Structure 1
């Protein structure tokens, strides 16, 4: 399966079909933007329903990330690591707009966010089991 990846406001887009390609793309985004705000990166699985199946992760913060999933039925959830306290406040680039991260949503390390991205790719867009999920009502 192939997924699309987008970040910034027209800064970039890629399509990947292997974990190696995904890792390389995330590494490139992280390295290319070290002097800028961390980026919200969106991974989009092929359409199977009314809503795009997607996973948002933050790339480029030295300590924390966030993970947000939208399923084909439109349900969404925030991922978190139960053993982590809320993270430090920080600002990230969301489609070209500086956006403040909610500390309670940044209970994810960069390594775990990347693991979730790999699981999203290899599962065809399913909610990654690397995290515990809080459903958005």
Structure 2
């Protein structure tokens, strides 16, 4: 079995995982750590590359208690969201990516902490874009879906 790679702190920290249990241990570690300004880290979970050498996987956050983001790096729409969650219009949420704050748009912050973790687990089990989230482009993710 080929391992999935979990990276955070802009790739400075890496763990190879083959099972959901190993993934959970890695994500527990990520959730406890914070960037220099106390922000939750952006995490990449990848396995393999596409035809031009771009990693395939998830570019996401898992540690924010209110809202997180899950982006798919692969074929198809790339913004994961929970249809029952409206775009985020609360206090600004920033994540740590290379010790710089990310600039999140409301439609990207439509994933709960629990669902972000579920999506990561599903990716490890299937090596496919998770089906536990709906997927869209920026425009598709802006509006509530029935």
Pairwise TM-score range, normalised by the shorter structure: 0.7 to 0.9
Change (3 A) 1:17 1:84: same
Matching residue within 24, 48, 51 for 1:49: 51
User: Could you list the per-position Cα deviations for residues 20-62 of structure 1 after superposition, in whole angstroms to 9, with x for gaps in the alignment?
Assistant: 0001100111112287101110011123532320201113211
Give the aligned partner of residue 58 of structure 1: 61
1:86 aligns with 2:72: no
1:109 aligns with 2:73: no
Question: Relative to structure 2, which stretch is displaced further, 20-29 or 34-43?
Answer: 34-43
Give the secondary-structure state (helix, strand or coil) at the position aligned to 1:45: strand
Give the aligned partner of residue 34 of structure 2: 33
Tell me the CA shift for residue 136 of structure 1.
6.5
CA distance in 1, matches of 2:30, 2:130: 21
Q: Which structure 2 residue ranges, 5 or more long, are not aligned? A: 140-146
CA distance in 1, matches of 2:50, 2:93: 34
CA distance in 1, matches of 2:87, 2:26: 27
Give the secondary-structure state (helix, strand or coil) at the position aligned to 2:60: strand
CA distance in 2, matches of 1:60, 1:80: 16
Q: Between Structure 1 and Structure 2, how many residues are aligned? A: 134
Structure with larger Rg: 2
Q: Which runs of 4+ in 1 moved over 3 A?
A: none
Q: Which structure 1 residue ranges, 5 or more long, are not aligned? A: none
TM-score, scaled relative to structure 1: 0.87
TM-score, scaled relative to structure 2: 0.82
